[in-house]
């Protein structure tokens, strides 16, 4: 029987290098300069305000060639390819247009409902669990270490392979 394989890609910071826009949006929303880590640690609903401000700032984000090449390679190899992002449903059209323009060969894309709950990482973990059902191998690409740690705590190493995207590079973790 053939192995069923799934590859799941985060969008911001993973497929596209949008940290600059994130920091700019955080400054606009909070009125003070923050580091990437400080932005990630922002409490609700501030984190949502920054996320949605970032979406407006990233109409032409810089592609991360390493991750995009991997995504298209996995598509050619017969993996099901999914984009799973904390971007809101409202930004879906704009985001998928960016994906199309950059030649991303994905099968499905999932967006955060844009509500206060669930949190980004809870939303992603829940969706990842649903997606992984029936697959023998699941690769996950994500730039936030705490999100990967959350996945690991729930799904373990069993059939999952985790890649952290750091400075544009893919690190198996
Ligand atoms: Mg990200």
Query: What length is written for the chain?
Result: 173
Tens digit of pLDDT for each residue in 86-116? Answer: 998 988 999 999 999 999 999 999 999 988 8
Contact call for residues 62 and 16 (beta carbons, < 8 A): yes
Residue with structure tokens 């799941």?
Answer: 8
Q: Are residues 155 and 134 in the same domain?
A: yes
Q: What is the distance in A from the centroid of ligand 1 to the CA of 165? A: 9
Q: Are residues 70 and 145 in the same domain?
A: yes
CA atoms within a 13 Å half-sphere pointing along the CA-CB vector of 11: 32
Q: What is the distance in A from the centroid of ligand 1 to the CA of 28? A: 20
Q: How far apart are CA 4 and CA 74, in angstroms?
A: 12
Q: What is the distance in A from the centroid of ligand 1 to the CA of 105? A: 19
Q: Kind and range of the H or E element at 105?
A: none
Q: Count CB neighbours of 15 within 10 A.
A: 29
Q: How far apart are CA 9 and CA 90, in angstroms?
A: 19
Q: Are residues 139 and 89 in the same domain?
A: yes
Q: Are residues 150 and 84 in the same domain?
A: yes
CATH number, domain with residue 119: 3.40.50.1000
- Segments forming the whole domain that contains residue 89: 5-16+62-172
Q: What is the distance in A from the centroid of ligand 1 to the CA of 77? A: 24
Q: Are residues 27 and 91 in the same domain?
A: no
Q: How far apart are CA 160 and CA 156, in angstroms?
A: 7
| Domains identified in the chain, total number | 2
Q: How far apart are CA 163 and CA 73, in angstroms?
A: 15
Q: Are residues 48 and 103 in the same domain?
A: no
Sheet with 169-172, strands from edge to edge, namely 108-112, 80-88, 5-9, 137-142, 160-166, 169-172
Distances from the Cα of 162 to the Cα of 74, 79, 109, 137, 157, angstroms: 15, 15, 19, 11, 8
pLDDT band at 52 (very low <50, low <70, confident <90, very high): confident
Q: What is the mean pLDDT of the chain?
A: 93
Q: What is the distance in A from the centroid of ligand 1 to the CA of 136? A: 25
pLDDT band at 155 (very low <50, low <70, confident <90, very high): very high
Q: Are residues 84 and 44 in the same domain?
A: no
Q: Count CB neighbours of 93 within 10 A.
A: 8
Q: How far apart are CA 91 and CA 31, in angstroms?
A: 24
User: Once rounded to an integer, what is the mean pLDDT over residues 124-140?
Assistant: 97
Tens digit of pLDDT for each residue in 32-51? Answer: 999 988 998 888 888 888 88
Q: Are residues 11 and 49 in the same domain?
A: no
Q: Are residues 80 and 118 in the same domain?
A: yes
Q: What is the distance in A from the centroid of ligand 1 to the CA of 101? A: 19
Q: What is the distance in A from the centroid of ligand 1 to the CA of 1? A: 34
pLDDT band at 21 (very low <50, low <70, confident <90, very high): confident
């Amino acid at each position: 029987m053939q192995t069923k394989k799934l590859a799941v890609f985060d969008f911001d910071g993973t497929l596209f290098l949008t940290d600059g826009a994130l920091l700019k949006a955080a400054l606009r929303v909070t009125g003070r300069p923050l580091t990437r880590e400080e932005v990630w640690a922002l409490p609700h609903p501030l984190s949502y305000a920054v996320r949605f401000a970032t979406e407006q700032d990233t109409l032409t984000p810089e592609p991360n060639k390493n991750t995009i090449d991997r995504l298209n390679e996995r598509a050619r190899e017969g993996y099901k390819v999914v984009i799973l992002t904390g971007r809101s449903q409202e930004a879906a059209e704009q985001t998928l247009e960016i994906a199309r323009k950059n030649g991303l060969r994905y099968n499905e894309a999932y967006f955060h409902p844009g509500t206060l709950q669930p949190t980004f990482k809870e939303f992603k973990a829940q969706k990842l669990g649903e997606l992984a059902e029936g697959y023998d191998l699941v690769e996950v690409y994500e730039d936030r270490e705490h999100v990967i740690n959350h996945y690991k705590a729930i799904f373990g190493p069993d059939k999952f392979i985790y890649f952290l995207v750091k400075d544009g590079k893919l690190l198996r973790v």
